[in-house]
């Protein structure tokens, strides 16, 4: 690659069989792999919620190793205008504007990219009478929702492991208090670990989310456990906080 740092393989060539040719002949070897401790996404969001349901947020994210591959490709193949268009389709939000965005690459052996995005979201929260319903997990929601249909015959092949860490701070509108907080969730599985919780200090709601997802090959008999793991994450990622006007 002309843009990747020297010594970094990326998703296409890491953890693959390769032919090593030397004086003794040819030998099959496996290229280095990147695991859960390398493939990181660490995100911190600071945001302010309006009583009309609008949300102003700044998201700072660091992508490392395989988690930065897609962002790296975007930065080196698209114009700034096209990156802006991509970001306008990236988030699972009804209507939003990208006020600004910036990226900084660290081209070390395990590369990383820092992303800063300023976003204005219209009608993020649902306002009903004196109550506001808001999902504190603004942009890191799992889309995985497999179903169990019959008996699985073949082993489960998952890609490389990865870890996501999110902290979201939401400043609540004046005159509102928490009526309902979702309970903390902790799920442990052969496929990884997931934790999510929310707390209120003053008028600042803070949401924490951690996902450690293992990669590799698993028995077909573990498929129901995979469905349970993904389903628990999917539901927790969509938990709602209820605010009530004093």
Classified as helix, coil or strand, 13 is: helix
pLDDT category at 19 given cuts 50, 70, 90 is: confident
CB atoms closer than 10 angstroms to residue 188: 11
pLDDT category at 162 given cuts 50, 70, 90 is: very high
Model pLDDT, residue 160: 92
Model pLDDT, residue 17: 80
User: Domain for residue 5, yes or no?
Assistant: no
Model pLDDT, residue 151: 83
User: Domain for residue 206, yes or no?
Assistant: yes
pTM for the complete prediction? 0.91
| Whether residue 41 has pLDDT greater than 90 | yes
| CATH number of the structural domain spanning residue 143 | 2.60.120.1130
User: Domain for residue 213, yes or no?
Assistant: yes
Q: What is the domain range of residue 176? A: 10-245
* Average pLDDT value for residue range 174-182: 94
Distances (CA, A) of 204 to 54, 111, 168, 170, 200: 16, 34, 10, 6, 6
User: Domain for residue 2, yes or no?
Assistant: no
User: Domain for residue 4, yes or no?
Assistant: no
Model pLDDT, residue 24: 80
pLDDT category at 113 given cuts 50, 70, 90 is: very high
pLDDT category at 53 given cuts 50, 70, 90 is: very high
Number of domains in the chain: 1
Distances (CA, A) of 7 to 14, 26, 32, 108: 11, 22, 10, 9
* Average pLDDT value for residue range 212-216: 96
| Contact call for residues 51 and 175 (beta carbons, < 8 A) | yes
Model pLDDT, residue 26: 85
CB atoms closer than 10 angstroms to residue 224: 12
User: Domain for residue 65, yes or no?
Assistant: yes
Model pLDDT, residue 15: 75
| Contact call for residues 234 and 144 (beta carbons, < 8 A) | yes
């Amino acid at each position: 690659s002309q843009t990747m740092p020297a010594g970094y393989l990326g998703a296409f060539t890491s953890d693959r069989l390769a032919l090593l040719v030397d004086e003794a002949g040819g030998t099959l070897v496996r290229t280095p792999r990147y695991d859960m401790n390398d493939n990181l996404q660490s995100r911190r969001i600071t945001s302010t919620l309006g009583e009309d349901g609008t949300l102003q947020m700044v998201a700072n994210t660091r992508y490392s190793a395989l988690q930065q591959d897609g962002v790296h490709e975007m930065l080196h193949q698209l114009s700034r205008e096209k990156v802006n268009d991509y970001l306008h389709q990236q988030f699972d939000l009804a209507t939003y504007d990208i006020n600004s965005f910036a990226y900084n690459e660290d081209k070390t052996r395990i590369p990383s990219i820092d992303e800063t995005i300023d976003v204005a979201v219209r009608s993020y929260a649902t306002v009903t009478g004196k109550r506001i319903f808001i999902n504190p997990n603004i942009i890191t929601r799992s889309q995985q929702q497999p179903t169990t249909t019959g008996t699985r015959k073949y082993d489960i092949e998952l890609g490389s492991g990865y870890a996501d860490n999110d902290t979201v701070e939401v400043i609540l509108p004046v005159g509102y208090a928490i009526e309902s907080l979702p309970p903390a969730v902790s799920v442990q599985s052969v496929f990884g670990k997931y934790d999510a919780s929310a707390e209120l200090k003053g008028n600042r709601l803070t949401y924490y989310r951690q996902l450690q997802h293992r990669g590799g090959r698993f028995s077909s008999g573990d498929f129901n456990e995979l469905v349970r793991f993904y389903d628990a994450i999917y539901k927790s990622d969509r938990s709602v906080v209820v605010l009530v006007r004093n």
